[in-house]
């Protein structure tokens, strides 16, 4: 609380102080007048001045005694400190302030105990989800292996197509579990990343190879039009997840295109102080009114509602990870023409360059 606020809170006291002082003087003046004695105005003025000086002195002493308390509160309000400031509030200022501090400390301990309880529950839930996802990945891998073996046998065309459909759905399930796993990990990002120099095109080729079944099944064709390998500093695992999300989206919204080219173009090029990875598809594109909202959590947009294949989390996680790594991402899109996603790797503007 600042001094002017302190005065505002005591305006009523000041008014009543002057009223009581004035009333006392009026009574004395009436007594003098009744006794038919001469009223000395200078004495009245002197008394008022003396009362004012005493009032100012009282306010100054009271504010000085409580100044440390107000400074602590002001510091907490202005600097947005944690609740630990409560224990720095000075004691023995007044009984009222001591009770106020005890109340704050009691509420703080209740808050901490409640928060600790929910932290433990949240950790249990996260650990369970993490283990469950890892356990589900094992049967998916086994089913994929069985399907691969069955497809290699002498079977009719109908059965082969059925196996391919099952395999495609298993890939979707696997990608969904992978997204859920990364969504859990992103909250502990600072404990789960390793910065190294990586070949960005090698990661792109690896992602394309892992998605080859989806490319073949949906008649979508990846084309890397940058022959020269480019190296950047980042986390290999997280960057692979980002590229996989973007390529999966490109496949998803290119396969539904009814006619025309169904290609995805990948290009890596250098500019001063940065390297840019561009993934361009020839799909249905994003409506203009949705482009600025694609990074919002759970936003599926017009295309997601129309084709029922969007969770609204892929690009949100992509943006979260990009920001935490110190990179940038931009999207250009034209409805009916396609979408371009640009990932920018800056030199000297990343978390690992600040160490």
Where is pLDDT greater, at 249 or 148? 249
pLDDT over 50 at 323, yes or no: yes
Where is pLDDT greater, at 205 or 161? 205
Measured CA to CA, the distance from residue 335 to residue 304 in angstroms comes to 14
Q: Which residues contact 238 (CB under 8 A, 6 or more apart)?
A: 182, 193, 321, 325
Confidence band for 45, pLDDT divided at 50, 70 and 90:
confident
Measured CA to CA, the distance from residue 167 to residue 181 in angstroms comes to 21
CA dihedral 309, 315, 316, 320 (to 10 degrees): 150
Partner residues linked to 274 by β-bridges: 271, 346
Measured CA to CA, the distance from residue 102 to residue 104 in angstroms comes to 5
pLDDT for the residue numbered 355:
41
Measured CA to CA, the distance from residue 129 to residue 81 in angstroms comes to 34
Percent of the chain with pLDDT over 70: 92
Give tens-digit pLDDT for 11-24. Answer: 888 888 888 888 88
Contact 44, 33 (CB under 8 A): no
Where is pLDDT greater, at 192 or 215? 215
Measured CA to CA, the distance from residue 189 to residue 352 in angstroms comes to 13
Where is pLDDT greater, at 268 or 155? 268
In order of start, what are the domains of the chain with their CATH numbers? 3-90 (no CATH), 94-192 (1.20.58), 193-354 (3.30.565.10)
Contact 329, 343 (CB under 8 A): yes
Percent of the chain with pLDDT over 90: 23
**Weakest-pLDDT range from 72-86, 194-208, 241-255:** 72-86
- Indicate if the alpha-carbon torsion angle 141, 304, 207, 215 is positive or negative: positive
The owner of tokens 């640009």 is 342
pLDDT over 50 at 202, yes or no: yes
pLDDT for the residue numbered 350:
53
pLDDT for the residue numbered 84:
67
pLDDT for the residue numbered 354:
42
**Weakest-pLDDT range from 116-120, 138-142, 190-194:** 190-194
């Amino acid at each position: 609380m600042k001094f002017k606020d302190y005065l505002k809170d005591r305006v009523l006291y000041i008014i009543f102080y002057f009223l009581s002082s004035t009333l006392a003087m009026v009574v004395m003046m009436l007594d003098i007048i009744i006794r038919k004695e001469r009223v000395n105005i200078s004495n009245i003025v002197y008394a008022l001045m003396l009362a004012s000086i005493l009032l100012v002195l009282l306010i100054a002493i009271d504010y000085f005694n409580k100044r440390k308390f107000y400074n602590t509160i002001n510091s907490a309000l202005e600097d947005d400190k944690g609740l630990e400031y409560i224990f720095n509030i000075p004691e023995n200022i007044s009984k009222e302030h001591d009770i106020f501090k005890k109340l704050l400390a009691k509420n703080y301990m209740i808050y901490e105990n409640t928060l600790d309880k929910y932290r433990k529950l949240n950790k249990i839930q996260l650990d369970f989800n993490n283990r469950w996802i890892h356990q589900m990945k094992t049967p998916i891998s086994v089913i994929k292996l069985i399907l691969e073996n069955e497809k290699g046998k002498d079977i009719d065309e109908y059965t082969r197509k059925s196996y391919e459909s099952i395999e495609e759905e298993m890939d979707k399930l696997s990608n969904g579990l992978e997204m859920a796993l990364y969504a859990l990990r992103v909250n502990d990002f600072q404990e789960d990343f390793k910065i190294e120099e990586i070949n960005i095109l090698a990661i792109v080729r690896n992602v394309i190879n892992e998605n080859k079944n989806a490319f073949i099944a949906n008649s979508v064709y990846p084309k890397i039009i940058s022959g020269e390998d480019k190296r950047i500093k980042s986390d290999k695992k997280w960057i692979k997840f980002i590229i996989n999300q973007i390529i999966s989206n490109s496949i998803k919204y290119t396969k539904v295109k009814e006619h025309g080219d169904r290609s995805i173009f990948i290009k890596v090029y250098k500019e001063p102080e940065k390297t840019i990875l561009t993934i361009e598809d020839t799909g249905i594109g994003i409506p203009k009114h949705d482009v600025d909202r694609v990074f919002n959590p759970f936003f599926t947009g017009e295309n997601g509602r129309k084709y029922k294949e969007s969770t609204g989390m892929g690009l949100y996680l992509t943006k979260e990870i990009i920001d935490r790594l110190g990179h940038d991402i931009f999207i250009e899109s034209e409805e009916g023409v396609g979408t371009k996603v640009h990932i920018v790797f800056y030199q000297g503007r990343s978390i690992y360059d600040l160490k």
